[in-house]
Structure 1
Amino acid sequence: MAAKKDRLLALDGLRLLCALAVAAYHLGMAWSVDGVRTTTAYLPQEVNSVLIYGFLGVEVFFMISGFVICMSGWGRSPRSFLASRAARLYPAFWACVLLTTAVMTLFPLTDGIPLPHDLTAGDIGVNLTMLAEPLNVPYVDTVYWTLWYELRFYLLFAVVIAFGLTRGRLLALGAAWLIASVVIPGDVPLAELVMPQFAPYFVAGTTLYLIRRHGPSLPLWTLLAASWVISLFRVRERVLFANPGFPVPIWPALLIITLAYTTLLLIALGTTDRWNWRCLAIGGAISYPFYLLHPRIGFTLIRYTYDRTALPIPLLIPAAILTLLTTAWSIHHLIERPVSPLLHRLIAQSTARPHLETTSPGR
């Protein structure tokens, strides 16, 4: 079966929805206004009970990543694949690291936000590589932890590309990865590669793309169902780990993850192929820089405005999100769009140089 069109605007819209969910959770739940009272004290309990599940946007991000990486990696060499990933991730990331560092420097806060304030120039330099986690360097912003998971997935996928990307190899990888994520303890070195907590989401994403590309089949349905079941157990662990100071039922998280699987399956089956609204493409483009910017800068915007105006927190949170969306749009247009193609060519074109050097002008 031939692959359907590559650009899926429904995925772009889903990306932005996930980023907004994570931001609503962080800015509404996960910090203190004055170092004593958390923001939950300023919001109705009914709102808090919804916002707490915003962290699940990360799980859905990883599912989308599995789908998109599988789609974009088809027909590429390992170098071309890694060049496309670097060009996609690094320009906006560099801009967001530097902008967040500037905010930390110009508007320091000493309480209410659990983030480091004494980063050195070397720490910031390491952050710019996306390797702060393995090099044991503090993050400029805590959400960068997800990028280390993405990088490991990209490297694993590049290995598969090197052997040749086929349906059978990806099925074998998905099955082996799921089994390893269940049997390998999280505290052994191999778990750094297996990523047990989030493996089922990456596997689900790649499986859903295989369904899109090759059509449904019993092996693919089986792998997707296994990913879903393991995801439910992993989500349960994540909810139990949350401790917001009020009861957090598990069933809404299970429902949200099941809804995410259903939504991505509908996209894979082509249900949303006719969606061509430009706003979805814009949402997808700004979701990544928005996600990188939102915690530290969002905290600071809300805190400084609150200290000086005492405006209500329920008003300041959406105002901060709107400001960050505008900033993310500027980064996309001013940084990502011009720099990403240059970086891609810089990484990818060196593969052509040996050929050029062995061919004389007269031949």
Structure 2
Amino acid sequence: MSMTSRTPRQPLPEQVESPARASPGPAEPAARGARLAAVDMLRLVAALAVASFHYLGTESPAYWGTAPTDFASPVHRMSMYGWLGVEAFFLISGFVICMSAWGRTPGQFAVSRLSRLYPAYWCALALVVLCMAVTVRGSGGLREAIAPRVVAANLTMAPGALHVEPLDGVAWTLWVEARFYLLMAVVLAFGFTYHRMLGFCTVWLGVAAAGAEMSNRVVGEIALTDYAGLFVAGIAVYLMYRFGQNLLLWMVLGLAWLFQLSEMYGRSSAHVLDTGSTQHTSWLVCTVLLTGFLALLMLATIGPLAKLQWRWLVTGGALTYPFYLVHQSIGVPMGKELSAHVSWLGPWSTVLLTLGSMLLLARLMNGLVEKPFGKLMRKHLAKGLNPPRVRAEAEAARAKAGAASA
């Protein structure tokens, strides 16, 4: 998931209005500015919503010793909608990935994403394997769960594509993100401009709609039909943020949102029913909640909340990715063990202790893994974009061409 949010340098009017004069290559990187702290906090809110779904949104008594319908009925009813946090992540990602990729080359964009996502993911995967070794009962089941092929496939961050069960329960969302990055990289190869991004969003929605109409799985997987409207809406908000609002952008945003809400209809209860729940969630409530989150994103980027610069918002946002990675695959087993061996705590105390522990673990991962190893990985990956021998060959080719033309 995307993670940085800073104010870019605003382009000159002629850079917006004259696509024919735009450079065919990528633009210069945008200037760094004030961080959009409220966007950071929205990411943490989305992660906490997903955690609420996994912790309290199901009827299973296996996690806390008692079913949430018994000890937290009102909270359970609200938590059933927590899966919308994933949809919110994709919406934010459309905005932030467009921002972070703008002005970069495809190689620079790839380095940014690889160094941002993999250190924490690999750390979380190691912790999940360790957790399974401690909590899985029966050596046969353990050997099957963490077989070398399973671990190898999971290290790629795309176990589902390799027909392997993910060790981290949220890995499927990272694969959706990765495919979004690939689509953005294709456009980035030509260079981001206002008009190219508008055209990309329009074509993407059209292909996604065609995939839905034909019920074509291949088209749907490539065009991310289930989530295309979220990513396009995020991109449209970013274009408003960078270039200003106009009716055309509002039309793109509106059509993307209507497409997404319609596409979400079939999933509005599926997430809950897949957990074995006997209850249903309302598509209308899902629509109101997700539209409310879109409104918050707009307030945080092109509205008054964009001015917020509270440090604690940024600090909280930094916990989002590692917390998201560990809250289910480590948090749920932890809750089960606490319920089984420290039952006197009671379900509510166990839930809160588990949540607090996962936030603390996320803080440690951010400080000890994400920041230092991400920086180191970014430094060495960047060197691979233009290694010395490649530079030497390029210089020799230029010198030869110069001598030939002299």
Which of 98, 102, 105 in structure 1 is aligned with 2:130? 102
- Asked if residue 346 in structure 1 is aligned to residue 380 in structure 2, the reply is yes
How far apart, in 2, do the equivalents of 1:195 and 1:145 lie? 13
Which of 306, 318, 321 in structure 2 is aligned with 1:285? 318
- Asked if residue 74 in structure 1 is aligned to residue 108 in structure 2, the reply is no
1:269 match:
302
How far apart, in 2, do the equivalents of 1:231 and 1:116 lie? 41
8 Å CA contact 2:63, 2:332 repeated in 1: no
Which of 332, 348, 354 in structure 1 is aligned with 2:366? 332
What's the offset of the Cα at 1:352? 2.5
How far apart, in 2, do the equivalents of 1:155 and 1:23 lie? 28
How far apart, in 2, do the equivalents of 1:233 and 1:198 lie? 11
2:391 match:
355
More displaced stretch, 266-275 vs 290-299: 266-275
What's the offset of the Cα at 1:245? 1.4
8 Å CA contact 2:64, 2:350 repeated in 1: no
8 Å CA contact 1:228, 1:261 repeated in 2: no
The alignment partner of 1:165 has SS state of coil
The alignment partner of 1:216 has SS state of coil
Q: Cα deviation per residue 1:134-170 (whole Å; 9 max; x = unaligned)?
A: 1111100221100000000001101111011011111
Label 1:234 to 1:37 Cα distance change in 2 as closer, same or farther (>3 A): farther
What's the offset of the Cα at 1:46? 1.7
8 Å CA contact 2:58, 2:76 repeated in 1: no
Residue identity over aligned pairs, in percent, reads 34
- Asked if residue 208 in structure 1 is aligned to residue 237 in structure 2, the reply is yes
Q: Number of aligned pairs?
A: 357
Q: Which amino acid aligns with 2:249?
A: L
1:164 match:
191
Q: Which amino acid aligns with 1:253?
A: C
- Equivalences for residues 20-35 of structure 1 within 5 A: 20-30=48-58, 32-34=60-62
1:300 match:
333
The alignment partner of 1:90 has SS state of helix
Q: Which amino acid aligns with 1:275?
A: L
- Asked if residue 217 in structure 1 is aligned to residue 246 in structure 2, the reply is yes
Which of 83, 90, 93 in structure 2 is aligned with 1:65? 93
1:319 match:
353
How far apart, in 2, do the equivalents of 1:122 and 1:50 lie? 39
Runs of 4+ in 1 over 4 A off after TM superposition: 35-38, 356-360
Q: Which amino acid aligns with 1:13?
A: M
Label 1:130 to 1:42 Cα distance change in 2 as closer, same or farther (>3 A): same
8 Å CA contact 1:29, 1:51 repeated in 2: yes
What's the offset of the Cα at 1:181? 1.7
2:46 match:
18
TM-score normalised by length of structure 1: 0.92
8 Å CA contact 1:31, 1:38 repeated in 2: no
1:143 match:
170
- Asked if residue 155 in structure 1 is aligned to residue 182 in structure 2, the reply is yes
1:2 match:
10
How far apart, in 2, do the equivalents of 1:44 and 1:330 lie? 30
Label 1:77 to 1:50 Cα distance change in 2 as closer, same or farther (>3 A): same
What's the offset of the Cα at 1:65? 0.6
What's the offset of the Cα at 1:257? 1.0
Which of 101, 107, 111 in structure 2 is aligned with 1:83? 111
Label 1:38 to 1:126 Cα distance change in 2 as closer, same or farther (>3 A): farther
More displaced stretch, 34-43 vs 321-330: 34-43
What's the offset of the Cα at 1:212? 0.2
More displaced stretch, 265-274 vs 317-326: 265-274
Q: CA RMSD in A?
A: 2.3
How far apart, in 1, do the equivalents of 2:233 and 2:137 lie? 40
8 Å CA contact 1:116, 1:140 repeated in 2: no
Q: Which amino acid aligns with 2:306?
A: D
Q: Which amino acid aligns with 1:233?
A: S
- Equivalences for residues 30-49 of structure 1 within 5 A: 30=58, 32-34=60-62, 39-49=67-77
Q: Which amino acid aligns with 1:324?
A: M
2:28 match:
none
Structure 1 runs not aligned, ≥5 long? none
